[in-house]
Structure 1
Amino acid sequence: MNISKFALLAIITFAFAGVACVEQEQTIAHEMTGVDAGMTEDSDPLVQRAQEVIAKSPDSPKGYNQLAVVYIRKARETGDFPLNIKADELIDKALALAPQDLTARKLKASLHLTLHRFPEGLEMGKQLQKEVPEDSFIWGVITDANTELGNYEEAVAAAQRMVDIKPNTSSYARVAYLRSLHGDHLGAVEMYKVAARTADPGDKEVQSWCLTQLGDEFLRNGKVSDAEKVYDEALSILPQYPLALVGKGRARAAQNDFSGASDYIARANERTPHTHTVILLGDVYKRMGDLAKSRAQYDLAENGEEKLGDLHDAHRVALFWADNDINLDAALKIAQDDYETQKDIYAADTLAWCLYKKGRLDEAKSLAREAMRLGTNDAMLRFHAGMIEKGLGNRAEAKRLLESALALNPTFDLFQAERARKALEELN
């Protein structure tokens, strides 16, 4: 398979934020340490099994590696992110016992990315690649790290190497994401479907993850009905899967079913309240007219660092502040710090938006262009760029960008889409 023929020579999240790391843990479960990847609904027996290995051989890294894999999988199944920190601590124990253990080092490189230590993950991945040049998992780490750091050409090259070595669900999903970043919607849909189709039928979490990513791709491109069908399929496999619950909620909100949307998103937040889903639930409550519930969610997002712990995302708070014209100095500082360490298109977009809100329009325009350099189909990127052009008095370009945002996805945000329409009315 050749990535470049699908327009991947030019390249986020989340992004989803963070989407670049999501395939690693499932690959570990398939490829390492003898853990049964099919047992996804009740991992406690796997915990016990790994603990027995540790008790029997406390000076061997094997049991620590196995238990780390179980925690990583449980984190993905449930959205309980702090389990990744437990896994990281276990891998440190394994490496203290055996510094050159390949399994532990691969897990450590992967966890660097999961815990947003992207430069460290890239450095470790490159070192491992020199030692084991034909390991597809290591090429996946290199792909993900480069994607998160904004090194898109390097990410494409690494993904191509990965799929050449081992064409499977893990490599197909990375190809899909890179195609999406480059604006190749049909190519991304194709590869997410292939990734889901080739997933281990006994691994419910992997199947649900692939389907949820496909749903997100549909939703970003304004195909709400297609997205909802795929989210429903994911939830039929894992009914409490947090990512699919949030996706379903967003699809309901896009169709003005705010009561249904709040139910799905609240179910996800009951298990693991991430900053972005807390803000999303606040937005839904606000659209329902329940300002007390909305304010409670916003307060949790803004001030809940202690309560949300590792799920607190200052970057998302900065974007919320900029959207609402509050705490703009603090928002700009967060965005600047993020951009210094992670120059992907979404860090550039957030910084552009914060600069715009501070009236620094020329700087904002430069960053907005950087954010759009891959041709990504993301209405929010186009909206931000359009508002910046409007602020600069470039009416024709502002109109083109705002119309493009709404044509791509008329319901791209519960509040910003309406602001885009009002801005167009002013321009007309």
Structure 2
Amino acid sequence: MENRARRTWVLGGSLVGCLVLGGTLMLLPPERPTSGPAPAPGPAAAQAMTAVAAGVPAALPDLAALIAERAERVRAEPRDARAWAVLGAAYVEQGRRSGDAAANYPKAAEALRTSLKVRPRGNAEALEGMAALANARRDFRAGRTWARAATEADGARWTSYALLVDACSGLGDQQGAGRALERMLKLHPAPAARARAAAVYRDHGRREDAAAALADAAAGATEPAERAAWLERAGQLAFERGDAEAALRYFQEAVRTDPDQRAAQAGQGRALAALGRTSEALSAYRIALAKQPLPQYALELGELYESLGLGHAARVQYDLLRERVRGAAAGGVDEDLVLGRFEADHGDEEAVESAVRRLRDEWRRRPSAEVADALGWALHRAGEDEEALWFAARAMDPEHGGGLRSASYAYHRGMIEKALGQDAPARRHLREALRINPYFSPLAVPLAREALEELGEVAVDEEVPE
């Protein structure tokens, strides 16, 4: 309910409403020129400022230096709208990279709104920052609104279109994402832009194009944090297609390049578990969680423990997941998707019903393929298989943004079809799941194999065309 209220405020208030600020922000005097040009930032802050302005990942130590430097600047010159915008964007990036939303996102919002108060017109930098903040909070409707406003303020900034791509993709608006992508690549056909394009290619099932775009981006990266981010995404792609060894190489190289690349550290855990190197996998996950305690990592580690018969250790991680969801909510982040997935797979009957309600709300907010898949599975777990199948099919429908070739999606659909007595399509989708990625889940893979054994061999007249 609190998340819904926050989203309603963001959207209902519109861009003008965000400028009506309370407290000390209203005490700012009318805009006037600053006393002079800002002093040049130090080397670390300058690197982070360049990265933030270019819409690429920045190193955590450099971000800390930039935040300190910009905070000092706005204390000295509270009318410097650009300094406020850079400060806000830096807080967004620090929150994203550290996983500490509560400590960073409220500060980001305050700085960005102050920038817009100081300069309400043509302030594309602050509008972009608001779009990035909304996307980081998974409030993609607000993100789309802010990103469109940024493109209207300055249509030559490719980074505004990159944020619009992210927001449209989060909403399952593939046509909108495609249009924004086309414009972005016309403005800036450079490796960093192609890395953003890779996510769209992936969602459309164009894995080869996505891999090529990420390879170009990694080769053209100018800073270690940027290169490590693209290597981590390449590792994700490799794991999704079932190539655990290649995924591990990408993840390891990402961590060597930037030791603060915790998504790659968690990726190592995923790949090592697939390769049977369990002790190393557990260690990798623990390291990732120690530095970036995201709910998704806790869920993955908990499921790995559960697959090993370590129920108590799994419950510890599930408790951490709930704690991190609460912490994320304090920073305005919507983690209903991961919480709904957890409740559907690991909760009692009451929790499963909670998952259905939670994910129905999420579907109304952002009708994307990943939400359709999660809601379909929760409905199946609640015994509502007819409706569950509609959502499972929607998640895999290319006409509605379901072009991603996902082993998890295929598994969920196959199990729902099996429950409905649709044996032929169930066989096909369960086999597809294992063919796409035979390591997609330490808990679900054995269940998929068991279900296939129960279904038996395929009769010739039962075959269903692809």
Smaller-chain TM-score bracket: 0.7 to 0.9
Q: What is the TM-score of this pair, normalised by structure 2?
A: 0.80
**Which amino acid letter does the alignment assign opposite residue 344 of structure 1?**
S
1:162 is aligned to: 184
- How far apart, CA to CA, are the structure 1 residues paired with 2:99 and 2:91? 11
Which stretches of structure 1, 4 residues or longer, exceed 6 Å deviation after superposition? Answer: 31-39
- How far apart, CA to CA, are the structure 2 residues paired with 1:127 and 1:43? 26
Are the counterparts in 2 of residues 369 and 385 from structure 1 also a CA contact under 8 Å? Answer: yes
**Which amino acid letter does the alignment assign opposite residue 226 of structure 1?**
A
Are the counterparts in 2 of residues 274 and 313 from structure 1 also a CA contact under 8 Å? Answer: no
- How far apart, CA to CA, are the structure 2 residues paired with 1:110 and 1:122? 10
Are the counterparts in 2 of residues 35 and 46 from structure 1 also a CA contact under 8 Å? Answer: no
Deviation at 1:303, TM superposition (A): 5.5
Q: Please, which moves more after superposition, 188-197 or 120-129?
A: 120-129
Are the counterparts in 2 of residues 80 and 271 from structure 1 also a CA contact under 8 Å? Answer: no
Return closer, same or farther for 1:305/1:233 CA change in 2, 3 Å cut-off: closer
2:272 is aligned to: 252
Match of 1:207 among 211, 227, 236: 227
Match of 1:379 among 407, 410, 413: 407
**Which amino acid letter does the alignment assign opposite residue 68 of structure 1?**
G
Q: Does 1:179 align with 2:188?
A: no
Return closer, same or farther for 1:347/1:306 CA change in 2, 3 Å cut-off: closer
1:86 is aligned to: 107
Q: Does 1:370 align with 2:390?
A: no
1:270 is aligned to: 290
SS at match of 1:299: helix
- How far apart, CA to CA, are the structure 2 residues paired with 1:289 and 1:312? 31
1:102 is aligned to: 124
Q: Please, which moves more after superposition, 358-367 or 415-424?
A: 358-367
1:196 is aligned to: 218
Q: Please, which moves more after superposition, 160-169 or 335-344?
A: 160-169
- How far apart, CA to CA, are the structure 2 residues paired with 1:85 and 1:205? 24
Match of 2:237 among 182, 194, 217: 217
Are the counterparts in 1 of residues 194 and 214 from structure 2 also a CA contact under 8 Å? Answer: yes
Deviation at 1:284, TM superposition (A): 2.1
Deviation at 1:213, TM superposition (A): 0.4
Match of 1:62 among 82, 94, 104: 82
Q: What is the TM-score of this pair, normalised by structure 1?
A: 0.87
Q: Does 1:348 align with 2:348?
A: no
Q: Please, which moves more after superposition, 272-281 or 224-233?
A: 272-281
Return closer, same or farther for 1:410/1:280 CA change in 2, 3 Å cut-off: same
**Which amino acid letter does the alignment assign opposite residue 356 of structure 1?**
H
1:419 is aligned to: 447
Deviation at 1:205, TM superposition (A): 1.6
- How far apart, CA to CA, are the structure 1 residues paired with 2:118 and 2:75? 15
Larger Rg: 2
2:44 is aligned to: none
- How far apart, CA to CA, are the structure 2 residues paired with 1:122 and 1:37? 21
Gaps of 5+ in 2: 1-46, 457-466
Q: State the Cα RMSD in Å.
A: 2.4
Q: Does 1:234 align with 2:254?
A: yes
Deviation at 1:422, TM superposition (A): 0.6
Gaps of 5+ in 1: 1-26
1:331 is aligned to: 355
1:313 is aligned to: 335
Deviation at 1:344, TM superposition (A): 0.6
1:15 is aligned to: none
Deviation at 1:388, TM superposition (A): 1.1
**Which amino acid letter does the alignment assign opposite residue 401 of structure 1?**
H
2:425 is aligned to: 397
Are the counterparts in 1 of residues 224 and 257 from structure 2 also a CA contact under 8 Å? Answer: yes
Deviation at 1:415, TM superposition (A): 0.3
Return closer, same or farther for 1:317/1:127 CA change in 2, 3 Å cut-off: closer
- How far apart, CA to CA, are the structure 1 residues paired with 2:246 and 2:436? 15
- How far apart, CA to CA, are the structure 2 residues paired with 1:64 and 1:211? 31
Match of 1:282 among 279, 302, 307: 302
Q: Does 1:243 align with 2:267?
A: no
Deviation at 1:196, TM superposition (A): 1.1
- How far apart, CA to CA, are the structure 2 residues paired with 1:185 and 1:127? 31
Deviation at 1:276, TM superposition (A): 1.2
Return closer, same or farther for 1:187/1:399 CA change in 2, 3 Å cut-off: same
- How far apart, CA to CA, are the structure 2 residues paired with 1:31 and 1:302? 33
How many residue pairs get matched?
A: 400
- How far apart, CA to CA, are the structure 2 residues paired with 1:41 and 1:316? 29
**Which amino acid letter does the alignment assign opposite residue 297 of structure 2?**
T
- How far apart, CA to CA, are the structure 2 residues paired with 1:313 and 1:37? 22
- Post-superposition CA distance 1:352-393 (Å, at most 9, x none): 111111222221111111100133111000001111111111
Are the counterparts in 2 of residues 216 and 227 from structure 1 also a CA contact under 8 Å? Answer: yes
Deviation at 1:42, TM superposition (A): 4.3
1:9 is aligned to: none
